[in-house]
Amino acid sequence: MHCFYLQTSIIFQVWSFITISASYGAKWTYTGPDGEDHWYKHYPFCRGPFQSPIDFEPELLRYDPTLVPVEVRNYNLSSHEQLTLSNNGHSVQLSLPPRMQLSGLPHLYSAVQLHLHWGSPSLPPGSEHTVNGRRFAAELHVVHFNSDRYPNISMAADKSDGLAVLGVLIEIGEFNPAFNQFLKYLNGVKYKDQRIQISAFNIRGLLPAHLNEYYRYDGSLTTPPCYASVLWTVFKNPVTISEKQFLALATSVFSSSQQESAPVVLNGNYRKPQNSENRIVLVSFQEGLHGTPTVTPAHLRRKVIQHLLAGEPSDVDEEQLPPKFNQKQGPGKMWADRKSQNSLGPSAPKQKGQQSVKMGDGSSLGPTFRKNSKTASHMGKPGLFQDSLCYSTLEKKVYRQLKKANAEHQLAEALREVLFPELNVRSYLACRSELALPTIMFLLRGQPLEKAAELDNLPVKDNHRSKKRNTVNKLDPTHTTQAGQRQATIQKNTQNQARPRPVLLGWEWED
């Protein structure tokens, strides 16, 4: 169920902020005691799955021949129009009119703002995304929200299908007249919270000349609150700015306000690469990528999921499966690997009767959380086949369950447990991730049999349905009958109550 947003009720908005442990106005920086390693304490999704940025390393890439050139509309703005240039203490940001649009995606997206991430004079590389380990001098982000489904950025920012961001890698080279259209005004936004009006210009000039070569993947905001709500498109070909233009960025603006006695220069404002977590990166190009495999077709993925949901993975023709499916690894191997990498993902499938929820630090929420939590199961909403997830509503639900178990401090780990399988299966079906067969079997534990038909409007066999209506509580690949046959279950979907959600003000999010 979609979240309700009550624009006219200030009391309701304030209540939304204080009912969960996350403080959406909490101070954060890139280094120090409020640095990115500590973001999750106030913004638990920053320790969640599908985080950005990532490194575009060769083994993650899959060529997708269906990707079309990026299409931008109304980017050539008139110089008679005014835009707001501001310093929010984390970046320099330029407002954009919503008639600027991004098409060619599952939805139409309208522009909101653009901003930059950059390095420092002593350490110039400061892009967020990296290519095979290489970091560029800076990175431009042009932020859009899903205007097909949501009225504004505040409504879209915490939805799983809410945002689309164009990323432009920047290296030091030739002078860039398009970037100078706003960089020349940096002295007007030298300090935090300063803003000025500047003349609009052709935003298209900030992008690479050709928009047909890019990386695309499912990810998150790279700043708090780190919602996994972004469909990223990062262009392969970088643009250039001159050394003088780069130094203007790295030396002219401050992250502190004008009233503070000790100004702090704003630079090095980039987040470190995050774990790819089996996500793959789609690429629209093949040049320079020797031996890069083609992405697995969507129809085959749906077929695999259908068989798994019906409890009969043996029916899948292994000769038709992509290479990773044919790897004969045990069901727990991936989770063991994740644990060895200090990951916070789920552990190996539990035996029947186990109740506790294991967290990343080895502790457990115990049976109380498992018994009372509707979100701990992958059955209820938000669920695998719901249109979109509302992260702020999910956070409130999980926090309430944790509070009953006196485990509020484990909010980040609990949210991760709920979202990791959810986002993985969604991304897999959208051909933007790749998972081994045992992993998918684990992720789909507990899904109702009828949901298999919803994937492609294909009926599930009647005899399958009748056999499994009165079986055990979970679809558990580790549980078998005396005859050695797998058992499936049908568990009723429970409808979540819609809750008011925190209002994201303009200065509280970057990407």
Residues in the chain: 511
CA 493 to chain centre: 25
Give per-residue pLDDT as tens, 215-247. Answer: 999 999 999 999 999 999 999 999 999 999 999
Range of lowest pLDDT (234-238, 240-244, 251-255, 501-505) = 501-505
Phi, psi of 302, deg, nearest 5: -65, -40
Give per-residue pLDDT as tens, 411-429. Answer: 999 999 889 888 988 888 8
Please check the confidence at residue 94 and state whether its pLDDT lies above 90.
Answer: yes
Domain ranges of the chain: 48-289, 298-468
Closest C-alpha among 45, 29, 478 to residue 264: 29
Euclidean distance between CA atoms 296 and 445, whole angstroms:
23
- Comparing 12 with 422, the larger pLDDT belongs to 422
Share of the chain above pLDDT 70, in %: 65
pLDDT for the residue 362: 37
Euclidean distance between CA atoms 271 and 36, whole angstroms:
7
pLDDT for the residue 278: 80
Quick one: how many helices (H) and strands (E) in the chain?
12, 16
Give per-residue pLDDT as tens, 64-75. Answer: 999 999 999 999
Phi, psi of 410, deg, nearest 5: -100, 25
Closest C-alpha among 70, 463, 119 to residue 271: 119
Find out if CATH 3.10.200.10 is the number for domain 48-289: yes
Give per-residue pLDDT as tens, 272-328. Answer: 999 998 889 999 999 888 888 998 888 888 877 777 666 655 455 544 444 444 343
Give the mean pLDDT of 146-171.
Answer: 97
| Peptide bond before residue 97 is cis, with ω within 30 degrees of 0 | no
pLDDT for the residue 33: 94
Please check the confidence at residue 433 and state whether its pLDDT lies above 50.
Answer: yes
Please check the confidence at residue 450 and state whether its pLDDT lies above 90.
Answer: no
Share of the chain above pLDDT 90, in %: 55
Please check the confidence at residue 363 and state whether its pLDDT lies above 60.
Answer: no
Q: Which two tokens stand for residue 194?
A: 């300063």
Tell me the pTM: 0.76
Average pLDDT over the chain reads: 75
pLDDT for the residue 425: 84
Residues catalogued as catalytic: 90
Please check the confidence at residue 193 and state whether its pLDDT lies above 60.
Answer: yes
C-alpha distances in angstroms, 187 versus 84, 95, 184, 190, 194? 14, 17, 8, 5, 10
C-alpha distances in angstroms, 343 versus 348, 351, 357, 442, 477? 13, 22, 15, 17, 23
Closest C-alpha among 172, 149, 151, 170 to residue 160: 149
User: Secondary structure of 73-85 in the HEC alphabet?
Assistant: ECCECCCCCEEEE
Helix residue ranges per DSSP H, 237-297: 243-252
pLDDT band (50, 70, 90) for residue 472:
very low
Closest C-alpha among 91, 136, 90, 112 to residue 235: 136
Please check the confidence at residue 138 and state whether its pLDDT lies above 90.
Answer: yes
pLDDT for the residue 280: 92
